[in-house]
Chains A and B, each alone.
Chain A
Amino acid sequence: KAGVTQTPRYLIKTRGQQVTLSCSPISGHRSVSWYQQTPGQGLQFLFEYFSETQRNKGNFPGRFSGRQFSNSRSEMNVSTLELGDSALYLCASSMGGTGGYEQYFGPGTRLTVT
């Protein structure tokens, strides 16, 4: 099975712009979660989507949003970029139902805001 894929791998944007990141989960997985990783704050949960519905959300401003499509692929969008949004954005997929399921991570998208 192919792993989690994320595109693009690297992005450079200017403050004030917006950006869209894409994530394709492992085939058969219905849950997609997004995390932000920075040297200062570490790994922080952004949100989770399951069957096209946001099921869980972290403590991030409304500039961060996401969606999930019927094929489980997910996108996250950041509007009005700030310098502090520079980070590695990781997507993870899992089976997602009730009970315990491990998450599998993609390679990440490195976003640099100048």
Chain B
Amino acid sequence: AQSVTQPDIHITVSEGASLELRCNYSYGATPYLFWYVQSPGQGLQLLLKYFSGDTLVQGIKGFEAEFKRSQSSFNLRKPSVHWSDAAEYFCAVGPLGYGGSQGNLIFGKGTKLSVKP
């Protein structure tokens, strides 16, 4: 069965430090991959997506992610974290459903990011 694993439940980094959030997926083919961010009490905001092509994708707010097929990973990175980045981050896989449906995203359990001043 398809699944997404985010091994880190909670990460704390100092402001200005670099960040890497891990995501591994299990899927029979190359899926569509996404990273979303959720602030408390809010919906999900799309940070970036990978459909095909260049395996290093750039997103909003200075985030980037790298797709590694051999490792079934799609890790999110940011070179310098800001206090406003404190939130929960979700990795998601979008399988092709019946009739080309993209409506079914499978999410990881999320990684909560805390930022120390």
| Chain A residues engaging chain B, CB cutoff 8 angstroms | 4, 6, 31-33, 35, 42-43, 45, 47-50, 55-56, 58, 90, 92, 94, 96-108, 110
Contact = CB atoms under 8 A, between A and B. Distances in A.
Interface residues of B, number: 29
B34 interface: yes
Contacts of A102: 34, 46, 49
Interface stretch (B13-21, B62-70, B73-81, B94-102): B94-102
Given A42-B110, A48-B103, A48-B104, A56 B98 contact: yes
Contacts, number: 83
Query: Which 6 pairs between the two chains have the least Cβ-Cβ distance?
Result: A48-B103, A98-B100, A100-B51, A43-B107, A105-B44, A33-B103
B105 interface: yes
A90 B98 contact: no
Query: Interface on chain A toward B: helix, strand, loop, or mixed SS?
Result: strand
24 contacts: A31-B101, A33-B105, A42-B108, A43-B92, A43-B107, A48-B104, A50-B101, A55-B101, A56-B103, A58-B104, A90-B43, A90-B44, A92-B103, A94-B103, A96-B102, A96-B103, A100-B51, A102-B34, A102-B46, A102-B49, A103-B94, A103-B102, A105-B36, A107-B42
A60 to B, nearest CB: 13
